[in-house]
Structure formats: C-alpha cells, structure tokens
Amino acid sequence: MKIIVTGGCGFIGSNFIHYVMHKHPSYHIVNIDKLTYAGNLENLKGVERKSTYRFIKADICNSIAMKKVFDHYRPHAVVNFAAESHVDRSISAPAVFVKTNVLGVSTLLNCSLEYSVQKFLHISTDEVYGSIQRGKFTEKSVLEPSSPYSASKAAADAMVLAYVKTYGLPALITRSSNNYGPFQFPEKFIPLVINNALKDKKIPLYGDGRNIRDWIYVEDNCEAIDHVLHKGRIGEIYNIGGQNERENIFVIRAILKSLRKPASLIAYVKDRPGHDRRYALSIAKIKRHIGWTPRTSFESGIKKTIHWYKSNTPWLRNTETGAYRSFYTKYYSKMGLSE
Ligand code: NAD
Ligand code: TYD
C-alpha cells in the first residue's frame, strides 16, 4: 500500500509514520509537510533513509504542488494530519487556521478525487463538539466549536463528508481526544509543563485549573488510526478517546511530583478566552465496529512521556527555534510572566 501522510513532521503524524513503518514494513509512505514552526524533521530520524519513505516539503494549500505529488506517486490512501493545531495561536491569529485547515483540506480532497484515491482518512478532533458538563459526546453529537481552531476543524469535517455524499469520495474521519507522548512541541500543555519544570520555570495554569481533558497516549491513537484506515467504513466518523479524564491541576501536580519539583512553580494566569471546560468522548462505536480500545493508563503514559523528554534534551533544545521563542516572549509578557 502507498500512503500519502500529510503533516508527518508534526507530533502525531511523525508518531504515526514510525508506527506504520514498524507494523507494515512493506508499505510506502510519502510524507508531505510544509515544515511550519511545528514541523520537525528530527522527529523522523532513522526512517529518512529507508527506501519505503519519501519526504516532500510542500504546502497542502498549493494545488499545483499537490497535483504533482499525487500524479507522481499515485497513492492508494491519504491520511491527513497537516493542520495548524494550537488553540492559543488560533485566538491570536485565526487566518492561517482557515487557510490550512479548510482550504488545504479541500485541495487534498480535490486531488484525491482526481487521482481516484481508495481511502481518504481525515484526522479531526474532539474539540469540534465543544464543551460538555456531564456525559460524553458520540459521533452524532451536534458540533459547537468554541475556538477558531476547532471551528476550522469542524468546517474541514463538513467538507470531507460533503465530498463523500456529493462526489462519492471514499473518505472517513477520526476525532481524537488530547494526545500526549514523544515529539510533541512544547507549547502544548503536557510537554510545556515538563519542559518548564525541568528548567525550574513558572508553569502558566489557565483560570482555576479545573478544566478537564481526556488524555490519550499518542501510540494508542496511532493504533486506532491504523485500524480505522484498514477496517473503517466509508463516510463514517470514529471517536478515539483515551478514557483518562484529568483536571489540568491534577496533571501538573502529577508531573511536578514525578520530577520532584515544587508546587510553587505553578502560576495561575488569566483564563483563555472561550476556554472549553470539559472534553469527553464515547468510544462505544470504535469498540463495537473496529474492536479497538486504548491500552495505556494515564499513569503509565505520563511516566513514559516524562522519561522521553528527560532523555531527549537535545531535541527539546532544538525545538526552541526563533518562531518558538518570539511567540513565547510576547505570550509570557502578556501573561505577566517573564520567560
Ligand atoms: P502539530 O502542530 O504537531 O503538527 C502539524 C504538522 O502539520 C506540522 O508538521 C506542520 O509543519 C504541518 N503543517 C501545518 N500546516 C501545513 C500546510 N499548510 N501544509 C503542509 N503541512 C502543514 O499537530 P499534531 O498535534 O500532530 O496534530 C495532528 C492532527 O491531529 C491535526 O490535524 C490536529 O487537528 C489533530 N488532533 C490533534 C490532537 C492533539 O492532541 N495534538 C488531538 C486531536 C486531533
Ligand atoms: P492544550 O495543550 O493547548 O490543548 P487544548 O486546549 O487543545 O485542549 O491545553 C490543554 C489544557 O491545558 C487546556 O485546558 C488549556 C490548559 N493550558 C494551561 O492551563 N496552560 C498552558 O500553558 C497551556 C498551553 C494549556
């Protein structure tokens, strides 16, 4: 099987490439990535020389470049991870989220139709449902996105489903909860907490710190995506949840305890505008139809993740590019914290 993976230099995409190359050594992967601040070629060390792997630096919004790649490689399947993915960035600069997450997806959908791709798997998020006080979202829940990020992802999901109905494109969608694990850029909550704690830097905690996320270890998500790619039904949506709901304050305390760092590093800061209180997914459908359930408890996943970041300090240092630093200089000063 020949698969185009977009956004394969980011956090989940790179984990997915490692996962697939290990599980299906005969598969060919073509990784298309624009290498934004979040894309890091270092995430793919070890696979770049394999004959079954190709990297192409390109923007999924560029229809000419995309056509060329589809024409040359004639993929059987496309798995689309490429996106702008950070809620805080979407609040300060929403336009690029609309561009990549909506226009970019529609470009890929057009190419997939034109080149008769057999499966288009779009990677979406639980954030499209919005926040839920009690109970869990199913795939049939109404979409009520809160941030420009989640709104752009909801728009993309609607485009994918429209291409299934209107043009018969064989596409399907996964919506996962918050991922954590190796190679996650340290602007997202868990790697940020680990990174700051390792450097004895203050850890900004939004609002009252009691917002809840359902954490999934990234390898579990990769396994679920692989199952959906092979066994999922066209036109369907599959929730992928970790079944590990934790308050943010709990997550910070667990990390600080494991690193033997003081609670005084926690700095309560102004809440994020439109901050969703709780995300929670029902995974009954993927369990029933695909036979997948998550394997990793939060306790074991966080232990592995902390170990990975402690053992990969050069990687962590290298992520601190100009873009990363200038964003955070502005951001930290807005929050009243010095970097
Ligand atoms: P990430 O920000 O770490 O990686 C995104 C990748 O996409 C980067 O390598 C970046 O260079 C690339 N990219 C961005 N714009 C591009 C463009 N125009 N053309 C080509 N490449 C481009 O994101 P992630 O956390 O790995 O998320 C991957 C996908 O999973 C996203 O679609 C995201 O919405 C979804 N998702 C993420 C989470 C999570 O917890 N991280 C949860 C649910 C869903
Ligand atoms: P994040 O990793 O940005 O994921 P998302 O907002 O997409 O769920 O944030 C996870 C949670 O952590 C969210 O409730 C916001 C909170 N948070 C903080 O309290 N401080 C921070 O510095 C960051 C980045 C997030």
Contact 130, 146 (CB under 8 A): yes
Ligand 2 pocket member 189 (CB < 6 A)? yes
pLDDT attached to residue 324: 41
Summarised one tens digit per residue, pLDDT across range 45-86 is 999 899 999 999 999 999 999 999 999 999 999 999 999 999
Residue 286 class from Cβ within 10 Å (0-12 exposed, 13-18 middle, 19+ buried)? Answer: buried
Q: Alpha-carbon distance 73 to 15, whole Å?
A: 22
Work out how many domains the chain is built from and give that number: 1
Higher pLDDT, 321 or 164: 164
Contact 206, 177 (CB under 8 A): no
Residue 23 lies in a domain: yes
Q: Which of 126, 214, 245, 276 is catalytic?
A: 126
Q: Looking at residues 146-172, what average pLDDT do you find?
A: 98
Helix, strand, coil % in the chain, rounded to nearest 5: 45, 15, 35
| Nearest alpha carbon, ligand 2 atom 25 | 189
pLDDT attached to residue 323: 44
Q: Alpha-carbon distance 39 to 327, whole Å?
A: 16
Summarised one tens digit per residue, pLDDT across range 277-302 is 999 999 999 999 999 999 999 999 99
Which one of the ligands is nearest to 180 CA? 1
149 is catalytic: yes
Residue 11 lies in a domain: yes
Residue 195 lies in a domain: no
Q: Which domain holds residue 101?
A: 2-180+216-240
Residue 34 lies in a domain: yes
Which one of the ligands is nearest to 125 CA? 1
pLDDT attached to residue 339: 34
| Nearest alpha carbon, ligand 2 atom 11 | 189
Residue 323 lies in a domain: no
Ligand 2 pocket member 87 (CB < 6 A)? yes
CA 7 to centroid of ligand 1, rounded, Å: 6
Residue among 87, 77, 69 nearest 32 (CA): 69
Contact 241, 281 (CB under 8 A): yes
pLDDT attached to residue 320: 75
Q: Which of 19, 129, 149, 309 is catalytic?
A: 149
126 is catalytic: yes
Q: Alpha-carbon distance 93 to 186, whole Å?
A: 19
pLDDT at 337 over 60: no
Ligand 2 pocket member 192 (CB < 6 A)? yes
CA 85 to centroid of ligand 1, rounded, Å: 5
Summarised one tens digit per residue, pLDDT across range 297-334 is 999 999 999 999 999 999 999 887 644 444 445 555 66
Q: Alpha-carbon distance 145 to 272, whole Å?
A: 15
On the CB side of 315, CA atoms within 13 Å amount to: 20
CATH number at residue 93: 3.40.50.720
Pocket test for ligand 2, best of 149, 206, 269 (most atoms within 8 A of CB): 206
